[in-house]
């Protein structure tokens, strides 16, 4: 069992690692799907789209698995909207915050921000349940 004092940290790390793993798996799948394009750009486009779709899926699965093991119960109804809204906000704010100046910055924010927001929401939900 994971220490209750560090459950926020474990949730955030699980989201980050899940986002990386999901992004890589979906990027490889997108590359495979786009490789048959006659223009020659299918590999690159498939990889980028796969990575951007795989990150939220990986964050959701990573936080969902660790949250379930920590005793948060079945909280996918909180995790899925939280990750989706956080990822959409990162993409919408990419231009004003100049996150798209470097792909590493954009994809890093796309992994870290939904993980931290969702881990914070789950941690606060659990702490308010136990104090009530």
Distance CA(56)–CA(42), nearest Å, equals 22
Task: Give the count of beta carbons closer than 10 Å to the beta carbon of residue 77.
Answer: 8
What contacts 38, CB < 8 A, 6 or more positions away? none
Q: How confident is the model at residue 131 (pLDDT cuts 50, 70, 90)?
A: low
Task: Give the phi and the psi of residue 11 in degrees, each rounded to 5.
Answer: -65, -45
Residues 16-60 have pLDDT tens digits of 999 999 999 999 999 898 887 777 788 888 898 999 899 999 999
Distance CA(83)–CA(55), nearest Å, equals 10
Distance CA(37)–CA(48), nearest Å, equals 15
Distance CA(121)–CA(131), nearest Å, equals 15
Residues 61-74 have pLDDT tens digits of 999 999 888 887 77
Q: Where are the domains of the chain?
A: 4-126
Residues in the chain: 132
């Amino acid at each position: 069992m994971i220490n209750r004092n560090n459950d926020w940290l474990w949730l955030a790390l699980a989201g980050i690692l899940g986002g990386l793993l999901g992004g890589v798996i979906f990027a490889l799948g997108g590359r495979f799907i786009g490789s048959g394009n006659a223009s020659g750009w299918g590999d690159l486009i498939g990889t980028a789209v796969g990575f951007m779709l795989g990150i939220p899926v990986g964050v959701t699965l990573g936080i969902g698995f660790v949250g379930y093991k920590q005793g948060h119960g079945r909280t996918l109804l909180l995790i899925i909207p939280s990750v989706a809204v956080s990822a959409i906000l990162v993409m919408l704010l990419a231009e004003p915050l100049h996150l798209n100046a470097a792909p590493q910055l954009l994809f890093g924010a796309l992994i870290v921000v939904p993980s931290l927001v969702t881990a914070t929401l789950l941690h606060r939900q659990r702490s308010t349940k136990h104090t009530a």
